[in-house]
Amino acid sequence: MRPISGFERPVLQWLFVALSVILIAVAARAAWVARRAIADAAFARSTEEGGRLERQRLDAQLARERSAREALTLDLARTRDGNAESARLMPTLTLEPLTTRGASPPEPTVSTQHATQVIELRLVLPAAARPHTRFEVVLREWTTGRLVWSRGGLSPSTVGRQSMLATFVTGDLFRPGAYEVLVSGVGSDGQTTGIASYDVAFK
C-alpha cells in the first residue's frame, strides 16, 4: 500500500491525532447526552405514571365516600318519610344496554335532580350476564373517562320479566353532561368480565 504523500510530516500526524481525539470526545459527549435524555424521559414517564395512579386512587376514594354518603342519605330518607312514602317520591332511572358506543356523547334527555335526592338506578342486563351472580358498576364521565362513582357486590333482580341491577344513587352524581355506565360480572375466581355499557346525558 503506497503511503499518503505528505502524511509523513509530523505536523500533519499531530493534526490527525488531534482531530481523532476531538471526534472521540464529541462522540462520547453525544452518547452521554443521549443516555441523559433517555434517563430523563424514563423519569418523566415514571412521574406521569405515578400521577396517574394517584389520580385513580383519589377517584376510587371519592367514589367510596360518595357511596357511603349515598347509603346514609337513603337511610335518612327512609327513616324520615317511611319506606312507602320514600318509594313513592323516589325517581327511577332505567337504562338499556348499548349495542355499540357512539362516536359522540348522547343528547341530554334527563333532568338533573337535587343533590340530596335519592334516585333508583336500574340497569337492564343483557343475555351475556346470565352466568354471573355478582356485578360491579362504574360511572364515568363520557368525554374524559373520569371515575365518578362505583359500586360492587350487586346481585341481579327481576322487574317486569327483565333481569336488571338496581342500586341507589344521589342527585349530586349527575350534573349536566354525558355519562357512561359500565357493568362487569365477577367470577368465582374474583376476575371481572365486561358485560354491558350504558350512556345517559343530563340537562
54 in a structural domain: no
pLDDT band at 5; cut points 50, 70, 90: low
Q: 132-149 pLDDT, tens per residue?
A: 889 999 999 999 999 999
46 in a structural domain: no
pLDDT band at 60; cut points 50, 70, 90: low
70-80 average pLDDT score? 59
129 in a structural domain: yes
User: Per-residue pLDDT for 26 more than 90?
Assistant: no
Q: 118-131 pLDDT, tens per residue?
A: 888 999 999 888 88
131 in a structural domain: yes
- Nearest-angstrom CA–CA distance, 144 and 126: 26
Q: Decide if 154 contacts 165 (C-beta within 8 A).
A: yes
pLDDT band at 71; cut points 50, 70, 90: low
pLDDT band at 1; cut points 50, 70, 90: very low
36 in a structural domain: no
- Residues sharing a CB contact under 8 Å with residue 120, sequence separation 6 or more, in sequence order: 90, 91, 92, 93, 166, 167, 168
66-84 average pLDDT score? 57
Read off the CATH number of the domain in which 187 is found: 2.60.40.10
152 in a structural domain: yes
Q: How many domains does the chain have?
A: 1
In terms of residue numbers, what domain contains 151?
A: 63-202
Mean pLDDT lowest among 31-35, 48-52, 80-84: 80-84
97 in a structural domain: yes
- Nearest-angstrom CA–CA distance, 120 and 90: 7
Q: Decide if 179 contacts 140 (C-beta within 8 A).
A: yes
C-alpha 10 chain-centroid distance: 70
Residue 165: the pLDDT is: 92
pLDDT band at 87; cut points 50, 70, 90: very low
13 in a structural domain: no
User: Per-residue pLDDT for 13 more than 70?
Assistant: no
pTM of the model: 0.59
